[in-house]
Structure 1
Amino acid sequence: MATGGGQVAVSDMTGAVWLIDPQTLEIRSEIATGQGAVWALALSDDGLWTGGNDGWIRRWSPEGAPLGTGAGVPEPTLTNPRGAEVFQACAVCHTLTPDDGQRAGPTLHNVFGRRIGTAPGYDYSDALLELDIVWTPQTVSELFEFGPDAYTPGSRMPEQRVPSAADRAALIEFLETATR
């Protein structure tokens, strides 16, 4: 579920997304994303972003028309294609550079060494602001090993885990390069 731009978006395991009027709870439009289970949604005034089981990010108009795929997804690099691939699920909510601004989550630019809840311009949950975590390769790995519900309880980050230690290591290596 995501809110923004005067709408609510909800999705399910089939890949369907419904844009709902928050006042009347009427379905404004239904989108068949064609990407399998949708595990990430972000809404803004100019559209909807979905990230799903197929590993692609898709952008939709506020009315539910497709606007393209792959936006905001870094191209896999020759040195770390697996890390870039794992990051695709994160790219729905997070950017890598300060120029790309905020999405549903804060930019990850210069994330390593930064205290949790301190990226400029992002409205963090009170629960997250009370945590005493500095983002390091180890803390990022633990976040995705245990999941946000366990590691950062009360945050608005959707439950995303990366069970494979090799995939977590690839993601961290990618982030160490891409977020500088």
Structure 2
Amino acid sequence: MTPHGAVLLAALLLPAAPAGAGSLPAGDPGKGEALFRACAFCHTLGPEGGRRAGPTLHRLFGRVAGAVDGYPYSDALRSSGIVWTEDTVSRLFEIGPDTMTPGSKMPLQRMTDPQQRADLIAYLKRATTSP
């Protein structure tokens, strides 16, 4: 296992919440849309949106990290083995990309409030899924 893989595995195995706390609360896509404004500087949501400093998030959920054609991902993210799910997106913002994907280009972004993470994820699920 590569050093990045070992760090990723350790980060994913850290407890995401206190024992018995369960998963994220139900998210509000309207509140998530407001939270996404900070992400919109680097990411677009639709297939026609192309990329900015970061890749498009179109069809994010279920996608392997580092898989958007034509985007120059860091080796750290491309080799991370992450599949973007509600849990992995939540974890990314809970612990920060510097911990979850050390060596990646994503700037430090943390969202410690589980409700805010749930709201952002609810919005992303709605906005990035093709009809």
TM over 0.5: yes
Aligned to 1:150: 99
The runs of 4+ residues in structure 1 deviating greater than 4 Å are none
User: TM-score under structure 1 normalisation?
Assistant: 0.55
C-alpha distance after superposition, 1:13-54 (max 9, x if no partner): xxxxxxxxxxxxxxxxxxxxxxxxxxxxxxxxxxxxxxxxxx
Amino acid at match of 2:116: D
Q: Does 1:162 align with 2:90?
A: no
The structure with more radius of gyration: 1
Query: Is the contact made by 2:97 and 2:106 (CA closer than 8 Å) also made in structure 1?
Result: yes
Query: Is the contact made by 2:29 and 2:126 (CA closer than 8 Å) also made in structure 1?
Result: no
The count of corresponding residues between Structure 1 and Structure 2 is: 102
Deviation of 1:87 after TM superposition, in Å, equals 0.7
Selected match of 1:108 from 42, 50, 57: 57
More helix by share: 2
Q: Give the distance between the partners of 2:41 and 2:77, measured in 1 at CA.
A: 20
Amino acid at match of 1:149: D
Q: Give the distance between the partners of 1:177 and 1:143, measured in 2 at CA.
A: 19
The answer for unaligned runs of 5 or more in structure 1 is 1-78
Aligned to 2:19: none
Aligned to 1:132: 81
Amino acid at match of 2:60: V
Q: Give the distance between the partners of 2:125 and 2:87, measured in 1 at CA.
A: 12
User: TM-score under structure 2 normalisation?
Assistant: 0.76
Q: Give the distance between the partners of 1:130 and 1:160, measured in 2 at CA.
A: 21
The answer for unaligned runs of 5 or more in structure 2 is 1-27
Selected match of 1:92 from 41, 46, 52: 41
- Structure 1 counterpart SS, 2:91: helix
Q: Does 1:172 align with 2:121?
A: yes
Q: 1 or 2 for the larger relative contact order (CA 8 Å, sep ≥6)?
A: 2
More strand by share: 1
- Structure 2 counterpart SS, 1:168: helix
- Structure 2 counterpart SS, 1:154: coil
RMSD value, Cα:
0.9
Amino acid at match of 2:108: E
Q: Taking every aligned residue pair, what percent have the same amino acid on both sides?
A: 56
Deviation of 1:80 after TM superposition, in Å, equals 2.5
- Structure 1 counterpart SS, 2:99: helix
